[in-house]
Amino acid sequence: MGKIQILNQNLANLIAAGEVVERPLNVVKELVENSIDAQATDIKVILKNSGLDELTVIDNGIGMDRSDATLCFSAHATSKLKDETMLFNIATLGFRGEALNSISSVSHVELSTYNGTESSKVVVANGEIIETQDAAARKGTSITVTKLFHNTPARLKYITNPYLELTKIVDFITKIALAYPEISFELKNDSNQIILTTGSGDIKRTISSLYSLELSKEVQTLNETGEFNITLHLAKPEFQRSSKNYITVFINNRVVNNSSIVKTVLNSYSPYMPKSRYPFCIVKISTDPQLIDVNIHPNKLEVKLSKQNEIQLTIQKLISEFLKNKEHIVNYKAPIQKSVEFEELNLDRDYLKKQPETFKYNQQVENTVIKDSDNIETHPTSKTSRIFNPIGQFAGTYIIAQDNDELILIDQHAANERVNYEKNKNLMTSQDIQTRELLVPITLTYNQSEAMQVKNVLNKLNELKIEISEFGINDFVVRSVPNWLQHNYEKECIELIIERALNNSSIEIVDILDEEIEMISCKQSIKANTKLSILEMESLIDELLNCENPYNCPHGRPVIVRFSKYEIEKLFKRVL
Ligand code: ADP
Ligand code: MG
């Protein structure tokens, strides 16, 4: 007799549950997505101890009749997928019919539902229905989950920090609320209200409820329609954060992990932002469901997109144009009252502990101020219209200048770096790059596998006018180099360039060079603590203002800071 036996249903369900239900977040996500699929416009998530003690989701959706209210707990029970063809045309968030089955196999579940004619209450323990009866007739569905993971002690053991579980849930509800501004979401934990959105359909109001009024006023919306509709809600780089969490990607309103799109957003912002800082940007992509595959990940967190490259290019173009047309001078603001800094966006402990009163207050502010949110001004100023007249130098490092009613500070080293960076970049990428023959050719030796890769990038190097060719089996020789390569550093530079090209063969060599250019430009630039004459300041300012991006040094740090006359008068209490 063979050794194989078919698992009993309970055991099979328990194993299947492991794939979908790892932590309270997964339960919240599945239940909330069911509510959205049921066309709810109001969804409440109420937790006790981060959902570990009790977790309830209440919606005002279409509800279920009595037979569905019991059937929904069976394996593969779904109303959303009728035949194979529909699998490639999924318009709902759920479709596998396994969430309620999985959740009920690792917890106790109480379901109340009313579809307008029939009302039912169903209690399920350990995957078995133990009670079915009439319930109160309140339109929609309410599901309460208790004793989560009581029968899977290994899983329970690995959930050690309720705070972390709550953070993940807050993060999810924040994102789903951004995806569905027309649905009102409420999240409570131990009777503290953490999230409440109005469901007005207005993304700015949603952002205001979730983050801050200040940010919501800054957010702008960009659109590109086509086979894939792309909508971006984004803020200027000054609203920068220390975490990537404020870049959110939705595909057909599903919150997805798509690191390539996140990278595209970061790359587009990078000229205006230091490396460790991140922008606020919501990316919404919508398309015919046939063009995406959501069935590649058990939690549907990854989605395959056809035409991913075109989509990335469009996003890059939209963001770059948006940023290019803006003035990015840092504004000095007197810290008279603690302004609503972007820092508040952080999902830190304070945020989570935010008391209901604060929220009510925010709500009021929002209702009174955001009505005409679309008329918010942005002041895009053309960079060439500015004239900075230098007055002097501070600490041998900053140029003090005046522009009408504004006092301007310019970091002279950063400014010079920017000027040199753009000059060098033009030189390196121009059509006719000047070259010089090396008196002593450089030889480079690699091991066998590296040498194969180097052979692969020889063309790219030649395009850059680095005349490199094979020399023996694993050796290469460089006979001439472009003029922009620093004298005496040729070998190091070329080795660096090759190393990057090897690690990053898919990237255009121009991008690889960016860091090279930064390094060289930095070396060439005037240092801090160098005395400048007014004439020298004038010519530096002139060159700076002619740059494509005069606002940031090549590392993304600010070059210009401005103090408005009003801010200065405030400091002297001439105005209040
Ligand atoms: P799926 O969402 O993949 O269909 P689920 O196990 O999550 O599978 O749900 C099973 C079925 O139960 C759904 O297809 C739906 O018909 C019904 N259902 C679940 N939650 C709700 C709800 N909140 N309102 C109305 N119907 C629901
Ligand atoms: Mg579902």
Nearest protein CA to atom 8 of ligand 1, as residue: 97
Angle at 461 between CA 512 and CA 265, to 5 degrees: 25
Query: What is the maximal distance between C-alpha atoms in the chain?
Result: 97
Residue 303 CA, ligand 1 centroid: distance in Å: 21
Q: Please report which ligand is nearest the Cα atom of 96.
A: 1
* CA–CA gap between residue 34 and residue 68 (Å, rounded): 14
- Asked whether 100 and 72 are in contact (CB, 8 A), the reply is yes
Q: Please report which ligand is nearest the Cα atom of 80.
A: 1
Q: Please report which ligand is nearest the Cα atom of 116.
A: 1
Q: Which ligand 1 atom is at minimum distance from the Cα of 99?
A: 6
Strands 108-114 and 54-59: unpaired
Q: Please report which ligand is nearest the Cα atom of 81.
A: 1
Question: H helices of 370-489, where?
Answer: 412-429, 448-463
pLDDT of 350: 41
Helix axes 534-545, 412-429, angle to 10 degrees: 50
Q: Is the shortest distance between the CB of 30 and ligand 1 below 6 Å?
A: yes
Identify the CA nearest to 424 among candidates 482, 465, 478: 482
Residue 264 CA, ligand 2 centroid: distance in Å: 31
Residue 176 CA, ligand 2 centroid: distance in Å: 15
Nearest protein CA to atom 20 of ligand 1, as residue: 34
* Total residues found in the chain within this entry: 576
pLDDT of 506: 47
Number of H helices, E strands in the chain: 18, 23
Q: Is the shortest distance between the CB of 99 and ligand 1 below 6 Å?
A: yes
Q: Is the shortest distance between the CB of 122 and ligand 1 below 6 Å?
A: no
Q: Is the shortest distance between the CB of 142 and ligand 1 below 6 Å?
A: no
Q: Which ligand 1 atom is at minimum distance from the Cα of 143?
A: 23
Q: What end-to-end distance do the CA atoms of the chain give, in Å?
A: 91
Residue 133 CA, ligand 1 centroid: distance in Å: 19
pLDDT of 223: 95
Nearest protein CA to atom 27 of ligand 1, as residue: 34
Q: Please report which ligand is nearest the Cα atom of 63.
A: 1
Helix axes 490-503, 448-463, angle to 10 degrees: 110
Residue 342 CA, ligand 1 centroid: distance in Å: 38
Residue 78 CA, ligand 1 centroid: distance in Å: 6
User: Which residues, chain by chain, have CB under 5 Å from ion ligand 2?
Assistant: 34, 94, 99
Residue 140: enclosing H or E segment and its boundaries? strand 140-146
Q: What is the pLDDT along the chain (576 residues), one digit of tens a residue?
A: 788 888 777 777 777 776 678 899 999 999 999 999 999 999 999 999 999 999 999 999 999 999 999 999 988 888 887 777 777 777 788 877 889 999 999 999 999 999 999 999 999 998 899 999 998 888 999 999 999 999 888 888 888 899 999 999 999 999 999 999 999 999 999 989 999 999 999 999 999 999 999 899 999 999 999 989 999 999 999 888 888 889 999 999 988 888 899 999 999 999 898 888 899 999 999 988 888 877 666 666 777 777 888 999 999 999 999 998 888 888 887 665 444 443 333 444 343 333 333 323 233 333 333 333 333 433 334 455 678 999 999 988 999 999 988 999 999 999 998 998 888 788 777 777 789 999 999 999 999 888 988 898 888 888 888 899 999 888 999 999 988 777 777 888 888 788 877 776 544 656 656 666 777 677 767 777 788 999 999 999 999 999 999 999 988 899 999 999 998 998 888 887
Distances (CA, A) of 473 to 439, 447, 450, 457, 461: 23, 10, 12, 16, 19
pLDDT of 544: 95
Q: Is the shortest distance between the CB of 441 and ligand 1 below 6 Å?
A: no
Residue 99 CA, ligand 2 centroid: distance in Å: 5
Q: Which ligand 1 atom is at minimum distance from the Cα of 79?
A: 14
Q: Which ligand 1 atom is at minimum distance from the Cα of 34?
A: 20
Q: Is the shortest distance between the CB of 141 and ligand 1 below 6 Å?
A: yes
- Asked whether 94 and 37 are in contact (CB, 8 A), the reply is yes
Q: Is the shortest distance between the CB of 477 and ligand 1 below 6 Å?
A: no
Strands 475-482 and 467-470: antiparallel
Identify the CA nearest to 319 among candidates 374, 345, 282: 282
Q: Is the shortest distance between the CB of 104 and ligand 1 below 6 Å?
A: no
Q: Please report which ligand is nearest the Cα atom of 139.
A: 1
Q: Which ligand 1 atom is at minimum distance from the Cα of 98?
A: 6
Q: Is the shortest distance between the CB of 139 and ligand 1 below 6 Å?
A: no
- Asked whether 389 and 402 are in contact (CB, 8 A), the reply is yes
Residue 163 CA, ligand 2 centroid: distance in Å: 26
Residue 79 CA, ligand 1 centroid: distance in Å: 7
Three-state DSSP class for 363? helix
**Partners of 470 in the β-ladder:** 476
Q: Is the shortest distance between the CB of 21 and ligand 1 below 6 Å?
A: no
Backbone angles phi, psi at 315, to 5 degrees: -60, -45
Q: Which ligand 1 atom is at minimum distance from the Cα of 61?
A: 24
